[in-house]
Structure 1
């Protein structure tokens, strides 16, 4: 039996087929999970890399063609009602929800000199507040049986400086620090909580100079890939990882910018 057969998993931030959310969804479908994909393509459209030409619908079609049971919801996680609505959507579509992979992220590229209150508030709303409310909504409807899973996503701010991404790293660092407290609170209810630092993933945003700089700090001489991240996600969602909670795990091949 596939490792995740019978599990229903919500994967947020799956707007682009080249990115981590899509890579995670592919692996979960291959391992037998039923998946609700969340996307918000407007965020990508406003970024230099742009939105996926096929949109998230193309990923849904791909996953269904591979035999997956997949539904999709587009929702702006800056809306405080969105996290609870996402959990409701999973229950409406599949009758249950066993795991949340909170992969979504807002990136703004602001250094100290460009920093604005508006961007700080929006980054916290999407990256931190929405994630906490998503965990709250998931836990509220969890039946306290073993096998509940929450995976948060941080970044590499605790392993090296990221001075040009202050709103992003501040809001992501909060998730890193929240992991242990959420884990302690939810373990008695059969839910593990872990956090992943996926390392630098080349998902279409990096220029040649950035690619070279990352490779120079990578012991393996390469970037992380969505597939690298997806393997860790799939294991943490499986029964084999039921004793792992409260951990922040770097899936970065030993990368360090120091």
Structure 2
């Protein structure tokens, strides 16, 4: 059996030294296979962002291990990129769009390769004609496309996304969801996606992981029985979508304090 791309084994995180204080992650284990699109859902405050920061190497775990392509992560690894919720904080307002996309490649690849990747990534998200603009000259949805293009330019084995569409309006969100599925196919990416939106998790994913309230463990996983490609109308009207959406929502409701839906 081939090795999973991402393996999380008994992952623990506590925000105080020597095991005292608030435990956020409490023995969390799961794996993500190459080519999967896995969404993570759970009650508000359950530690989803802490989990992603730990997986990305930005935060050291208190216990357990995270392995990418068979190598234990001990710092920010090569082969991984992350897109954050707040695109305004992640983009450099004084750099033009192309320069923002190129930035993580500086010192890693040659100039010609940087230019080629930047252009291809911007073209993939429909922003090549805006390469010379500044982020503040673009709409919120376009700025998040720049952030996605920057991640694509790194050619990651694994793309982590922390509620990347939460700050945009509903129409832009739908457009970004479809764009993400398109670039996933084009670049043959593996994606781990955190969201509060149950419908979004089902629409995008091959599999959904449900987490408990903190201290967090995996409570269930749901395979999404929907074919690709997907579209915003027919997919959401499919009876399999409705059934799967209800199953995921029920898992979150039962995991939330007081039984309230997240």
Work out which of the two has the higher radius of gyration on C-alpha atoms and give 1 or 2.
Answer: 2
Higher relative contact order (CA 8 A, sep 6+): 2
Structure with greater proportional strand content = 2
TM-score (norm 2): 0.35
TM-score (norm 1): 0.35
Structure with greater proportional helix content = 1
